[in-house]
Amino acid sequence: MKYSSRVLIGHIVISACIFLFSIIGFAIASFAMKFTFSLLVWLSDGKFDLPLYEILRSIKIGSVGGGVLGIGIVLFRLFKLKGF
């Protein structure tokens, strides 16, 4: 295997990891925010209401946001912009 193809595979692996970690990180962060706000409402009202559809919705929204950020970072790295 040539050196240039190994470098290309390395860049692809790093870009895929950045993309996946940003999706997973944003999904976890959005769930944590939703849980925190539900916990604060529970502490103030005494009623804990966090249905499954709201959890899934917040995870989906976080995943889309993380995907957009991940694609942006990967494209910035691809075009070799400073700082990425």
Whether residue 35 lies inside any domain: the answer is: yes
Query: Domain limits at 69?
Result: 3-78
* Residue 14 confidence class, pLDDT cut points 50, 70, 90: very high
Domain count, the chain: 1
Q: Specify the 3-state DSSP secondary structure of 51.
A: coil
For the beta carbon of residue 19, count every other beta carbon within 10 angstroms. 18
Entry pTM: 0.84
* Residue 84 confidence class, pLDDT cut points 50, 70, 90: low
Residue 25 sits at the vertex; the CA angle it makes with 50 and 18, to the nearest 5 degrees, is: 155
For residue 40, give both structure tokens.
Answer: 């604060």
Whether residue 83 lies inside any domain: the answer is: no
Between 2-11, 30-39, 55-64, the lowest mean confidence (pLDDT) is in: 2-11
Whether residue 84 lies inside any domain: the answer is: no
- Gap between the Cα atoms of 30 and 74, Å rounded: 22
